[in-house]
Amino acid sequence: QVQLTESGGGSVQAGGSLRLSCRQLGSIYSVYCMGWFRQGPGKEREGVAAIDSDGHSSYADSVKGRFTISRDNAKKTLYLQMTNLKLEDAATYYCAADLLISRCIPGRPMDTWGKGTLVTISS
């Protein structure tokens, strides 16, 4: 059974940076489609970024140029480097995986989720 555990959340000032990590436990393989999602207060969950097993990535327009998703398959860890953070980036960030595919398909629901890590932004 695959488990995803996020870390790296915290409080930062607007304009600052944070790096989130997502450790994958319980699986021999790590070559899944993986992604980061977020849900802010009173908002619906939205996709932030996704990455294929070969490293090809995609981003929501709201974070392009500021966030970078990456993965270390040997360490079974997914990362999200966030820079120039804005107040509207405040949310709980979730790591997710689609264990059935290696190349992400836009709109296809993920089947495995972490519990989330909270990011708060102050002005």
- For 52-106, the DSSP string reads -TTS-EEE-TTTTTTEEEEEETTTTEEEEEE-S--GGG-EEEEEEEETT-SS--T
Tell me the mean pLDDT in the region 64-70.
98
Is the pLDDT higher at 27 or at 69? 69
- pLDDT at residue 74, as a whole number: 86
- Helix then strand count (H, E) for the chain reads 0, 11
- pLDDT at residue 29, as a whole number: 60
Report the alpha-carbon distance of residue 6 to residue 94 in Å, rounded: 7
* Confidence tier at 1 by pLDDT (50, 70, 90): confident
pLDDT surpassing 70 at residue 30:
no
pLDDT surpassing 70 at residue 50:
yes
- pLDDT at residue 2, as a whole number: 87
* Confidence tier at 32 by pLDDT (50, 70, 90): confident
Condensed to tens digits (0 to 9), the pLDDT of residues 91-121 reads 999 999 998 888 999 889 999 999 999 999 9
- pLDDT at residue 28, as a whole number: 61
pLDDT surpassing 90 at residue 65:
yes
